[in-house]
Structures are given as structure tokens and as C-alpha cells.
Structure 1
Amino acid sequence: MDFDMRAFAADLCGFASTAGEEAAAADFVENRLADLGFETYAWDADADRLADHPSFPDDLTAADVAGRRSVAGVLALGGADGSGGTSTPTIVLNGHIDVVPAEPAEWSSDPFEPVWSETEDEREGGRTGTETLTARGAADMKSGVAACVGAALDVRERVERGAADLPEAGLRVVVEAVAGEEDGGYGAATAALSNPYPFERDAAIVAEPTELRPIVACEGSLMARLELTGRSAHAATPWRGEDVLPRFEAIRGAFMDLETERGESVTHPLYGEFPVPWPVVCGTVTAGSWASTVPATLAAEFRIGVAPGETVDEVEAAFRARLDEVVADDPWLREHPPTFERFSVQFEPAEIAVDEPIVEAARAGLVEAGVPDAEPTGATYGADSRHYVAAGIPTVLLGPGSITEAHYPDETIAWEEVKEGREAIANAIVRFAADYADRRESGSASPAPSSK
């Protein structure tokens, strides 16, 4: 069966696969992979395993992960089989099929009815005069999934016509479409903790929207909720109450000062281009109960950046210490100390060396595809790559589209870039496989560690 990447991406974008609603999109991908000749696998998020994972809440239940289904397809090429032999290189191409919610009122069209158009003006992440796809998930990252499927098929075609130089034991290419990346990586974490395949994995490419630059370092994040207690009073006699808002402003100011200090003291060679390398954002604030009452309660949720090389625990300790300083200076807070507790999912940072074979293969693949900037860089966001890196699988981010389009109204991707991404990823697979035998002979390649 022929693969129409354009139709595949549009069809996949038609699924409203928000958190917990990924199963239908997963079934679509699994069926298409089977039709295209892939051996398919499927797995559900494992609540028991994830509850013991530092990224996830420890009270996860089966109901929390219901519908969080992930699928994959495997191509065994050039003599490879499913026996699990360590002499056969295996590369995983990973993408997530979940999307963040969309507010239809902010869009110029239905977010889940893909629209093809020609760009008329220059837009960050787009290209004037080229065809674009607009839909929720177009950039983040269903077009990346489509590019992975196309790249795997292109490698199969090269092998079949003898144009790919593979090791004697052949090559395995795995295409994964995983659930739950946006809220912690349910599918990828489960796959990393409990290998769903009868073979090990040597390296992975996660096709996040990187503007076709290889990303080797991903920032982590601490998600923490601050809660303050004051004392209510009638607005006509506010001096009888204890207003939480000035206290919150003092704490937030102290946190922003710490953001600035950390930007100067915590350095990394791949993050010099970012004006704020380790951002601190207070995303939600809820305070008070009535306009004519002094606000006596406040809850605020923070997302705090964690640099590669740090841990979430270390950064949490630094912000707790700064909070303690504010509390010590306020008699009311000393008597009524605020709480500052983790909530939701935590993202540990992840990083691999720029000279890892998968990074060198990605850079070579980009150059062969005519992409001008193939220098590795870092990202101020987290990704599923961290789960594979933690399992000992070197993983690089490389995909079409821009992160500036992610989670954005009228999310758009330039289709020409998707085609370039497909070519670059296919080139990277072939390069990785071709160099694999040489690395084994020289002793610089070793079997992938077991993650079962």
C-alpha cells in the first residue's frame, strides 16, 4: 500500500486526542501501520509502574490512565528479525498523538478540521508561499509522527533496491505513536520502564517540532502549588483583616529575583541563546471569595525550570529556601506559614553528549537533506526523550515545525518542512545503521541496556 503522508497527517489531526482520549487515534495509527507492512505492538499506560516513577503522582489508579493507549510498528530490514539479537541495530522513531485542548473561539476554523492553505505572510514557524497545514496537533506533533512513518518506509525502499549500506545483521526501525506526552509521558514512560518489544533499543529520535535542529538537552520543570492564608474582613475596614495579595506579590517577586540569579549562576553551553534559560512562570492564581471582602485565601501554581545537570529536588530546595526568607520577614506568615507542594507531573531534565552516534547521524542526515543549521542545541521545554535517556537509550529530538506554534491558536506547520524532516530522519537512520558495524568492531558500540 502506498503511503500518502499528507493524508495521514490530516486524518490524524482530525482526532481530538486530548488527555485520556488517545485510544481512537492510536487505533487509526496501528491500523495504518499494519496496512503498510509494519509488525504492530500496543500497550496501555501502567498505573502501578508509573506511580513509582518520580515524574508522576504516587496515587495513580487504573482510572487515571484509562484510554491512554500507545502503539508502534516495526520494520525488520536487510536480514533483521524479531529474535532480539544484539548485533542488529534498532532505532526508535517516536512521536506523541495526544494534544492540548483548543479554544474554538480563538481559532479561525475548527481546530480538529484540518485546513490546507498557502501562506500569504511571513509567520514564525511558517514559510511564505508554501503549503501549510493548520489544526490542533499539526506542529505538536502529528506531522512529526507522519514524517517518522514516511522516513521508515523510505529506508525500507532504499534497502529493497540496494541503496542502503546496512550491517550484515540488518536493521530494525520502530515507529512509536505514544499517549500522554503533554502531561508527563504516560506512553513513553511505560515503554521505557517495561520494554514492549522482544528486542532492545539502541537509539531513538523524537520528532518534536525543533525547526529541524537536533536538540540534545531538554530542560526539566518543577510544578508546585503555593497556598496562603490570611484573615478576611469587610472591605470598609480592611485594617481588620490580613490581605494575602501583598504577601503573594512579595513571594512572587522573590521567586522572580531567584529566576534572574539562576540565569546568571546556572550556566550551560547550549542555553546561551535564551534570554531566560530557566524560566519561572506563575500560571494560575486564585484568591479571595468576594469583591467586598479582604482576600484571606490564595492558591497559585508555578512552573519552574530545571537546568540539565540539576534535579527537580535541588531546584525545589532552592525555591523553598527563598520562600522561607520571605516568611521570616513577615510576622503574619511566620505565624501562618504558606504551603508549597508539588502537584501534577514533574519533568526531570535530560541530556546526551553531542558526539553520541545518534546525534552525529542526525546531523549528517540534516546536511544530506540540505538543511543549513545542523548544530545541536538545547530546549527550554521537556519531552519524552527523558524517559528513554533514563533507560539508557541515547535520544535526540529532531522534527519539523516550530515550538512557537505548539499550544497556539491556528497551530500551523509548513508542509515543505515536514517533507524535509522525513528525508533527514531517513538519512539519519541509514547513517546510524551503516556506522553501527564499524562501532561494534572498534568496541565503541555495546548492546543497549535492558529496560525490562
Structure 2
Amino acid sequence: MDTVEILARLVAFQSVVGTPNAAIVDWIRTYLEGLDIHVTVLPGPEGDRSNLFATIGPRDVAGYVLSGHMDVVPAAQPNWSSEPFTLRRETGRLYGRGTTDMKGFLAAALAAAPELARANLSRPIHLAFSYDEEAGCRGVPHLLARLKELCAHPLGAIIGEPSRMQAVRAHKGKAAARVTIGGRAGHSSRPDIALNAIHAMSKVLNTAVDEAQKLTRGPFDLVFEPPYSTLQVGIISGGLALNIVPDNCRLELEARGIANAKPEELLAPVRRSAEILTQQGFSVEWTPLSVYPALSLAKEALLATLLEEITGRPSLAAVSYGTEAGLYQAAGIDAIICGPGDIDRAHKPDEYILEDELDECRRTILALAMRCARA
């Protein structure tokens, strides 16, 4: 099967984040096992989602990981020009949910797999495909926790998020959380005997806004846009009717930290402002939603040099979006981003990838295999 055929199969699986993914995992496993490639399916604690890990070459020798996620964001937007889970081919473009983010990379790796299997690699190439990346990299930590039993410690991990096949050495870390405040309902004519959860949440919101403003004053890392850590509230909801004192309010927020900042610590002042409300009779629940660390790989790192050589392009200092790369680095594995497509096309109606981008990605993977064959 060629890359486009494989991509069509992958896009057809509606592997939306947070939903069961057995169908796509089983298809990939069957395809790879048909090439006599060793595959391990790693069920997650959710019970209905799994990671997949495959090794081409010797498992007891240090090699390279090609990392990607199988999940996609929902495709509920009404203005798709065609069915989002059916690949549409038009003048060099391949349309469908996940084509760029990031089933295109998976398809290129799987299309290269037959040649990798015949290459008699001295160093292995591993395929590490995860679930629920779009919910804050929830699947890959379970894969990394079992990596020691799957292979020798890797030399590096290439995370195939869309980067126009230019290697990227850094991104910010992220932490997200939900704050839920419970008050006491009542008629709006007697707010004095009720506890207004929305009014109480305004104190939390003000703290979040103040902290976000403080972060604009530094510290700075000029490789990022913006060059400082950020904090923002994305969702706030509460109340049932105007004449009812609301007894519940929910707020969701995130922080994105530059390389030396811990994003969960950036949220700490907001959490403290919420927990103080318990002294006024409110219930407060703080629920972490996701967290992943920043990526920071030195320009002179061997992995960065390798990617520059096999792509023929200089590496890029940083991008604004986050990936699983920081988790690999936190596990002691050098990591870098390099994949086909453009992040600006992701998470939108009529998401697409170029056939030329898929071809370039496949050629790059084969160039990596040539290095592993003569290592």
C-alpha cells in the first residue's frame, strides 16, 4: 500500500480524542505484523484506549523513536466541503480530519515500514503511536512508563507533529485545570441568605487576569512568541436563571511556560485564591486536566544535527504549540519535532496535507533508516 492509501484507511477511523480507539490500533497492528514487525499493544487505564509500540530491527540496541498520536480533534464544524472522515484527493491536496494533525506522519511511517523491515537495520527504528494527545498528552506517559521493557534506551525521539518537515528544538510546557465552586442557591430577591458562586468565582478570575498580566513582565525567552509564559481563562459557566442565585460556577484555565518555568506552578496563585473561598462557606474543587513539560533541545545536540542532515534544512529554535516531545525529554530521551504538514491547517474544517509533504516525510524516514543500517 502506498502512503495515500494508508492515509485514507487511517482517516476513515473516527479516532476522536477521548473515545475508544481499538479499531485503528487493530488495523495498524495487523498491517505491521503482516510485515513480520514486532508489535506491542499497551492498554491505558481507561480500559478502552491503547498505545501501540513497534520495533523494526534489534530491540536490545539503542535506536530512534518515531512518535505520533492516533487521535484527532472532533470534526463537528458545519462548513466542511466534504465528509471529514473520508479522504478527498484534489490537485495534490488530501483533505480529511487528521491529515495534517497527525495521521499524515503515521501514514508516511507505515508506508516506509516495508522498506525498513527489509533494511537489516543495525540500530532499530521504533514506532510509538499514542492516544489522547489532543486532551493534553494523556496516553504517552503510560507508554513511556513501560519503555524499559520494550527496548533499549533510545538515542532520540522524533515527534512527527506538523512542522513543514523542518526540525524544531523547543516548545512551551502546559498545564490546564478546572475550578468548580459550589455555593447556595436562593431567590434573587434574597441574595443575603444565599451564596453566589459566580460572584465568588470573580475573585478567582481576577487573580487569573492579574497573574497573566504579571507574566508579560518576564522572565523572557526570545525564541518563543510571545517570549514569556502565559496564562489564560478559556471557559467560564454557571447559573440557571437570572432570578436564581447561582450555586455553581465552573472555570477552566491554562498556563504555558517557557523552558525554565513549570506551568503547574504558574497556576498555583489562582488555585490559592480559589481555596480561600472555603473560609466563606463555598465548596471548591480543583481538577487538573492536563500537564506536559516544555521541550528544550540544544542546537548542537546530536539529534538536532542528524535531523538537519537528513532533511537538508536548518532546525528551528521553537514553536508556539505543544507536543509529546517534552515528555520524552523528561524521560531522559532527546526529542525533536519534525513532521509533514502545517500546524495552521490543523483543527479546522477542510484540514489537508500535500501529497508532496507526505513523500518528503517518507523519504526522510528512509534516510534515517540508511543511517541506522550503517551505524
TM-score (norm 2): 0.86
Distance 1:21 1:302 in 2: 26
Q: Does 1:378 align with 2:318?
A: yes
Q: Does 1:424 align with 2:350?
A: no
Residues 183 and 247 in structure 2, CA contact (< 8 A), matched pair in contact too: yes
Q: 1:210 corresponds to which letter in structure 2?
A: S
Q: Which residue of 2 aligns with 1:94?
A: 67
Query: What residue ranges of structure 2 are gaps of 5+ in the alignment?
Result: none
* Change in CA separation of 1:376 and 1:424 when aligned onto 2, cut-off 3 Å: same
Residues 365 and 426 in structure 1, CA contact (< 8 A), matched pair in contact too: no
The structural deviation recorded for 1:14 is 0.4
The structural deviation recorded for 1:234 is 4.5
Q: Which residue of 2 aligns with 1:139?
A: 100
Q: Which deviations, in whole Å up to 9, do the C-alpha atoms of 1:165-208 show, x marking residues without a partner? A: x8xxx221112222232234454222211125243322111101
Among 111, 131, 149, the alignment partner of 2:110 is 149
Q: 2:14 corresponds to which letter in structure 1?
A: A
Residues 204 and 395 in structure 1, CA contact (< 8 A), matched pair in contact too: yes
Report SS of the residue matched to 1:27: helix
The structural deviation recorded for 1:152 is 5.0
Report SS of the residue matched to 1:95: strand
* Change in CA separation of 1:259 and 1:431 when aligned onto 2, cut-off 3 Å: farther
Distance 1:320 1:414 in 2: 44
Q: Does 1:190 align with 2:163?
A: no
Q: Does 1:304 align with 2:255?
A: yes
Q: Does 1:67 align with 2:12?
A: no
Q: Does 1:112 align with 2:95?
A: no
Report SS of the residue matched to 1:225: strand
Q: 1:8 corresponds to which letter in structure 2?
A: I
Q: Which residue of 2 aligns with 1:342?
A: 287
Distance 1:384 1:203 in 2: 13
The structural deviation recorded for 1:6 is 0.6
Q: Which residue of 1 aligns with 2:5?
A: 7
Q: 2:107 corresponds to which letter in structure 1?
A: A
Distance 2:366 2:217 in 1: 39
* Change in CA separation of 1:252 and 1:198 when aligned onto 2, cut-off 3 Å: closer
* Change in CA separation of 1:338 and 1:426 when aligned onto 2, cut-off 3 Å: farther
The structural deviation recorded for 1:358 is 1.2
Distance 2:241 2:368 in 1: 59
RMSD: 3.1
Distance 1:191 1:231 in 2: 44
Q: Which deviations, in whole Å up to 9, do the C-alpha atoms of 1:324-374 show, x marking residues without a partner? A: 7x97xxxx997356736133332233333222211111122221xxx5xx3
Q: Does 1:30 align with 2:29?
A: yes
Q: 1:69 corresponds to which letter in structure 2?
A: S
> Percent identity between the aligned chains?
23
Distance 1:43 1:228 in 2: 37
Q: Which residue of 2 aligns with 1:217?
A: 170
Distance 1:414 1:11 in 2: 17
Distance 2:264 2:70 in 1: 30
* Change in CA separation of 1:174 and 1:109 when aligned onto 2, cut-off 3 Å: same
Q: 1:286 corresponds to which letter in structure 2?
A: S
Distance 1:313 1:104 in 2: 32
Distance 2:343 2:204 in 1: 30
Q: Which deviations, in whole Å up to 9, do the C-alpha atoms of 1:29-67 show, x marking residues without a partner? A: 11222233423232222x3xxxxxxxxxxxxxxxxx212
Q: Which residue of 1 aligns with 2:219?
A: 266
Distance 1:234 1:191 in 2: 51
Which stretch of the first structure deviates more once superposed, 355-364 or 341-350? 341-350
The structural deviation recorded for 1:16 is 0.8
Distance 1:222 1:185 in 2: 11
Q: 1:381 corresponds to which letter in structure 2?
A: Y
Query: What residue ranges of structure 1 are gaps of 5+ in the alignment?
Result: 48-64, 119-130, 161-165, 438-452
Q: 2:25 corresponds to which letter in structure 1?
A: A
The structural deviation recorded for 1:7 is 0.5
Report SS of the residue matched to 2:28: helix
Distance 1:186 1:239 in 2: 43
Distance 2:247 2:42 in 1: 47
Q: 2:56 corresponds to which letter in structure 1?
A: L
Distance 2:127 2:315 in 1: 25
Distance 1:203 1:173 in 2: 10
Give matches, 1:313-328, under 5 Å. Answer: 313-320=264-271, 323=273
Distance 1:357 1:13 in 2: 34
Residues 277 and 380 in structure 1, CA contact (< 8 A), matched pair in contact too: no
* Change in CA separation of 1:90 and 1:246 when aligned onto 2, cut-off 3 Å: same
Distance 2:205 2:164 in 1: 33
Q: Which residue of 2 aligns with 1:405?
A: 345
Distance 2:239 2:301 in 1: 53
Q: Which deviations, in whole Å up to 9, do the C-alpha atoms of 1:192-235 show, x marking residues without a partner? A: 11125243322111101123232222322222222345665545
Which stretch of the first structure deviates more once superposed, 132-141 or 406-415? 406-415
Q: Which residue of 2 aligns with 1:391?
A: 331
